[in-house]
Homo-oligomer: A and B are copies of this chain.
Amino acid sequence: MQRYFCEDKNGEIFNLSGNDMHHIKNVMRMKTNDKIEVVYDKKLYLCEIKGDEILLIKECENAKDETEIILLMPVLKERKIDYILQKSTELGVSKIIPIQMERCNINYGQKKENKVLRWNKICKEASEQSKRLTVPIVENITDFKHLKIGEGFKILCSTNEKEKSIKNVLKSTKIYDKLYIVAGPEGGLTLLEEENLKQQGFVPVTLGNRILRTETVPLFVLSAINYEMLE
């Protein structure tokens, strides 16, 4: 069943966005009495279409309390970012912060704000497709030098770290509420950037000997975290 995220609910009526209503009527060609799933405030509702309105049938499922996973990713070419956003949404990321790092060879300048709007839209669509109850937030692009990370368990994917593996580190820390992951651009983070992150509590880890593309790294780490959380 098609799933939509909604931000406005009035009693038993869900007010979906104009885009979503267009999708329901003109793309999916749904009609009165057709059923859809609507997520509002992290709760899932079964709803039906009645003319121009979306009406509640029943409440279904609440979001479980999951580990909050925050991905700090380098600013990359559009195609690579789109890919990371889609896949990391599938793999359960909670928040994504694009970081302007020294070795990023792209800077969106004045297009920044539009990009971030677009990136949030990608996450919304990927969340609908993978039937999530929450949509990851893409924050504004942050310059590395303004980066201030709060409390949490912090992992730095580093090609300079040769000893301590991500497995070693994830296994040693069984319970985490909040997990930060930082991955570098092509060419990696600079030593100065790594030093800065270490001072903010990041633990450098190796992902092993394979040479992964920039856009594959977050996917590998998120898969590893999902895997480690399995019974």
A binding-site residues for B, Cβ under 8 Å = 87, 90-92, 129-131, 165-168, 207-208, 210-213, 216, 219-220, 223-224, 226-231
Contact = CB atoms under 8 A, between A and B. Distances in A.
A167 B211 CA distance: 24
Contact of A90 (B129, B212, B231): B212
A220 B165 contact: no
A216 B91 CA distance: 9
Contacts of A165: 230-231
B87 A130 contact: no
Task: Say how many copies of this protein the assembly contains.
Answer: 2
A85 to B, nearest CB: 13
B227 A227 contact: yes
A216 B90 contact: yes
A208 B226 contact: yes
- Top 8 nearest A-B pairs (CB, nearest first) are A223-B223, A167-B230, A165-B230, A224-B227, A130-B211, A220-B223, A131-B211, A90-B212
Contacts of A211: 90, 129-131
Nearest to A86: B213
A210 B166 contact: no
Given A210-B226, A227-B227, 15 more contacts: A90-B211, A90-B212, A91-B220, A166-B227, A167-B228, A207-B230, A208-B229, A216-B219, A219-B223, A220-B223, A220-B226, A220-B227, A223-B224, A224-B224, A224-B227
A87 B213 CA distance: 9
Nearest to A226: B208
Nearest to A219: B219
A181 to B, nearest CB: 14
Contacts of A168: 230-231
A159 to B, nearest CB: 13
